[in-house]
Structure 1
């Protein structure tokens, strides 16, 4: 265990955690909503510091990040727990548990490992929710930055302002999961709130490279109105923020049938009216390529491998010269 950041003593031996908007008031011997921050004798401790439940070297496109060093590899780490209760959780074996198999990897060792893999650009904090791994992520990201490595956060964005501000200087890119675009959906199926996620996207998009993922679930968050509202909001921030619309399949506590492919294509069409780059996920060889928003030249082809086609070395369309929102 390690003493946590962002908490204060409350009455009757309880402590209040200020890491995420749940702002849990935690009694002695109990843990917060995320299961990983515990009151031990009137102090708040993080239970998952340095505990790695999953790790590996992944293509950056799996995060998914399509406009951040495309075609590169990134060392990926995950832990236990989450501050959401998504009924359709895709990583429930590690995210929706209090304890489980894990290995100890210090921040120093994580940075060493990241540097040892050929072609690796840095560290991605992913698989489960990295923001409840905050103390470890902060220390590891700071060390990785010193060693010239990139830091990527794959997150649900449900975090308070101060922790996010303290972490952002060390983060190079984020994929933020906007799980739906109504407060009702977040309350019913996520056990969270949409507003803090919106604030995270708006703040992070000013500080680092940001891409957005939304898993479309039939009849719950895939209406044309929801897609239009989501894409208009993103477009009002930056029209060139990449949006990944991902196809739902039954998982964890949700057994609805998979999202129809036609629904996915229609959602992409709606979003593309507001955004330059809209991708489809969980559909084989469909909606993965990057095209120039101006002249529609194929820039990057993704069919199992990543092939640069019409993208110049300075990040512009080789046909019309349009500058592309891409980090290379």
Structure 2
């Protein structure tokens, strides 16, 4: 899906902002879309590199069926090259995969429900799901027909038309906004910032969304940059949950872990304009629970991935009546 043909059997991929021109016998930047004689093929269709029944909070999604599980699937390939990638072994290498047809993926999720697990559906995650586009599209349609929810955990680096065609089948997204400068995206991720911001703005209002920003020591964690990120997101919707995540050395980056004080400061700054701000990978900061912005009551208490709904009734705070934007 989403390519045009050029002279000499060249093809131009239209899925993401890279718009790769691919010669016959070659693959695009993502390593999975291949030109065979002027036809573009998704070589990773039905190829699953990772699967797990995860807490939905692990995505992370804190306002979408809290306390539930979701069958999480990943493939290979990515259209960014983040130096700090946590899943680089499947995103940037060629791991072993198993064939998993769309109907079988849906069947697996339904089996979890039949066994009594609180599984709400399927999450397309681990590597970049937009590089698994055709498989996600086919599977999400079947999952929707079966009464299951569909979740994308994505870098948001996608073009408008593919995004709009998939959106009707997607119930929630966690979108990485990896920084708030184009220099960071270009130097550290081999991408650009504007297409990601556009994705968030297009998705808002069509499905549930939450945002994650990994604060990388000395690269994207300055108060000035955090302030710009918060200003932009509050302008989209101050009710969108923002997750700051602690960086640890991985893949090609060996910088020190994000100082906890940096995370604490980022959280304090964000809460001045956003109503729901969380800090991940830093349990000592105890910033994972959902707090009522009206009265400060603990609405959902989280310890690791253990979740307990507290002072809430009918989607509102039991103490003050504040309506909470949750999908339950």
Q: Flag whether TM exceeds 0.5 (same fold).
A: yes
Q: C-alpha separation between the residues in 2 aligned to 1:108 and 1:269?
A: 45
Q: What corresponds to 1:148 in structure 2? A: 147
Q: What corresponds to 1:240 in structure 2? A: 239
- The reply on whether 1:51 has 2:51 as its aligned counterpart is no
Cα drift, residue 139 of structure 1: 0.3
Q: What corresponds to 2:298 in structure 1? A: 298
Q: C-alpha separation between the residues in 1 aligned to 2:292 and 2:13?
A: 45
Q: C-alpha separation between the residues in 2 aligned to 1:119 and 1:268?
A: 31
Question: SS state of the match for residue 73, structure 2?
Answer: strand
Let me know the Cα RMSD of the aligned residues: 0.7
Aligned residue pairs total: 322
Cα drift, residue 158 of structure 1: 0.2
Please show how residues 76-225 of structure 1 align to structure 2 within 5 Å.
76-97=72-93, 99-117=94-112, 118-225=117-224
CA shift digits 1:222-246 (9 cap, x unpaired)? 0101111111111111111000000
Q: What corresponds to 1:311 in structure 2? A: 312
Q: C-alpha separation between the residues in 1 aligned to 2:128 and 2:39?
A: 23
2:27 aligned to which of 27, 31, 48: 31
- The reply on whether 1:74 has 2:70 as its aligned counterpart is yes
- Judge which range, 277-286 or 208-217, deviates more: 277-286
CA shift digits 1:125-175 (9 cap, x unpaired)? 000100000000000000000000000000000000000000000000000
Q: What corresponds to 2:58 in structure 1? A: 62
1:14 aligned to which of 6, 10, 14: 10
Q: C-alpha separation between the residues in 1 aligned to 2:249 and 2:212?
A: 18
Question: SS state of the match for residue 229, structure 1?
Answer: helix
Q: C-alpha separation between the residues in 2 aligned to 1:232 and 1:295?
A: 24
Question: SS state of the match for residue 317, structure 2?
Answer: coil
Question: SS state of the match for residue 108, structure 1?
Answer: helix
Unaligned runs of 5+ residues in structure 1 are: none
- The reply on whether 1:255 has 2:254 as its aligned counterpart is yes
Q: C-alpha separation between the residues in 1 aligned to 2:155 and 2:105?
A: 23
Q: Where does structure 1 differ by over 3 angstroms across 4 or more consecutive aligned residues?
A: none
